[in-house]
Structure 1
């Protein structure tokens, strides 16, 4: 069995990546999460993997989206780091993997939170890690949430503090980015992984790397689903982040960018 985990923090172009790989011939599941606010073309998430991940989060008393409860002003580092997987959920993961075709992949940002589980279940799995600059991710999450709030009267009441500037959702989202990408960096050091920081620029190299590891993929141009975008300016940030958290995010992004360069060079 050849399994590909498409990994990345929320709003890091993982949906776009999964869409592209599906066009290249990768089986990412038959029953996929449909599009919604911010992902009009679809999320390209296998609903069975998604349901399992959400169930594990619920069992740990954590929000199903793997980010934060709406009333929290900070990301719950300690609680996310202490996630446990019950024997029943582990059996479900094994059974789920057994139903997949000989060559398949899946995408769900929450997978980053359960990498020890999937390394145990799929010992020979390959990973494609998509890294997006933290400020772009936070801005995208903030923009998505604000759009949802405008559409939902109940949410407007719960997020009233947004309007008077007291709600610091950007620090909570930055905390989530740090945790997810810290999990990814640990994972990158353990196995077969290709790290992408420029999806359009590295797409051809990623396909060659995957084909070299036995994935039967057609070299469909990434431009069928994406267009080049200018790189972010690291000195122009969208928010006034917590200083300690910002320093950690910058260092982590630098570590990931260095790994991505090395991975591309060794393709």
Structure 2
């Protein structure tokens, strides 16, 4: 077991974990030496520690799962060698910093192992409405297509602009809405089950819609209750409302309506715990 002042920033993809991690980095929390860079839909960077990012991806690849982590189940077992790798990674982080944290949405797929190996860690959970998350994931796919075709000239761009563009988002909604909703359920149900096994004093749940308004309370909790040595940084300096994608009408593309009810139940349970 490893004892240290550690903050694990958790949340589904597209839930605002990059934003909150960037803010905490500005407040003085060490969240890694090497970060994953910016990308479409996240122009300020992801603020993901590449050590955790690469370890998670390697484990997913070893299990023949997509390394983006957009899957319907968590990872329930590790080999002795994989556990040894993770323990060494955590030990190296602990030796290097007296207080530290990290963010990678894939962390949600491995919470059982982090709970075992970091028994004194604190968890900052970002909850975002399932409709907003699914919409954001689909909009990111659409924007990647738009970006690709904008780089082209001649006939490919003509076909995109006058034919494919108008149907692309509809196609993505049909293809991915239900899949992404199941992924949202998997991540947030994993978080919920994780929190149910932790003392209430060791975690903080924040609703994405209140990130800006609640940032002083979050800072106060980290500094006063969890004793992190930080210096307050104005949240509005990192928050960019224009980057938030529109909420799409995803529910008509969900064939199994029970999945929507399941998502609503998980969301309600987590919201009850939010500050």
Question: C-alpha distance in 2, partners of 1:132/1:46?
Answer: 22
Post-superposition CA distance 1:148-172 (Å, at most 9, x none)? 233447xx9xxx9957748420111
1:96 aligned to 2:110? no
CA distance in 1, matches of 2:74, 2:54: 20
Is 1:202 the counterpart of 2:214 in the alignment? yes
Task: Name which of 217, 220, 237 aligns with 1:224.
Answer: 237
Please point out which of 172, 179, 183 is paired with 2:186: 179
Given candidates 147, 170, 176, the residue that maps to 2:143 is 147
Determine the structure 1 residue equivalent to 2:152.
none
CA distance in 2, matches of 1:245, 1:133: 14
Matching residue of 1:73:
none
Distance of 1:139 and 1:66 partners within structure 2: 17
Pick the structure with greater CA Rg.
2
Does the C-alpha gap of structure 1 residues 176 and 258 become closer, same or farther in structure 2, counting only changes over 3 Å?
same
- The offset of 1:180, in angstroms, is 0.2
Separation (CA, whole Å) in 2 of partners of 1:243 and 1:185: 22
Q: Assess, with a 3 A threshold, how the Cα gap between structure 1 residues 163 and 183 changes in structure 2: closer, same or farther.
A: closer
Cα deviation for residue 85 of structure 1 reads 1.5
Residues 4 and 125, structure 1, Cα contact 8 Å, conserved in 2 = yes
SS at match of 2:272: helix
User: How far has the Cα of 1:121 moved from its partner?
Assistant: 1.4
1:202 is displaced (CA, Å) by 1.7
Residue 19 of structure 2 is aligned to residue 8 of structure 1: no
Tell me if the contact between 1:5 and 1:128 (Cα under 8 Å) persists in the aligned partners.
yes
The 3 A distance-change label for structure 1 pair 82 and 119 is closer
TM-score, normalised with respect to structure 1: 0.84
Q: Distance in 1 between matches of 2:168 and 2:26?
A: 40
Task: Give 1:200 shift.
Answer: 1.3
1:17 aligns to what? 20
Question: CA separation in 2, counterparts of 1:18 and 1:82?
Answer: 24
Q: Secondary structure at the match of 2:261?
A: helix
RMSD: 2.6
In 1, are the aligned partners of 2:36 and 2:48 still within 8 Å (CA)? yes
Counterparts of 1:114-129 in structure 2, within 5 Å, are 114-129=110-125
More helix by share: 2
Q: Distance in 2 between matches of 1:259 and 1:251?
A: 13
Pair 237,122 (structure 1): closer, same or farther in 2 beyond 3 Å:
same
Structure 1: stretches of 5+ with no match in the other structure: 69-76
Equivalent pair of 2:251/2:260 in contact (CA under 8 Å): no
Give the counterpart of 1:26 among 21, 26, 29.
29
Give 3-state SS (helix, strand or coil) of 1:127's partner.
Answer: strand
Please tell me whether the aligned partners of residues 66 and 110 of structure 1 are also in contact (alpha carbons under 8 angstroms). Answer: yes
2:64 to 58, 61, 65: 61
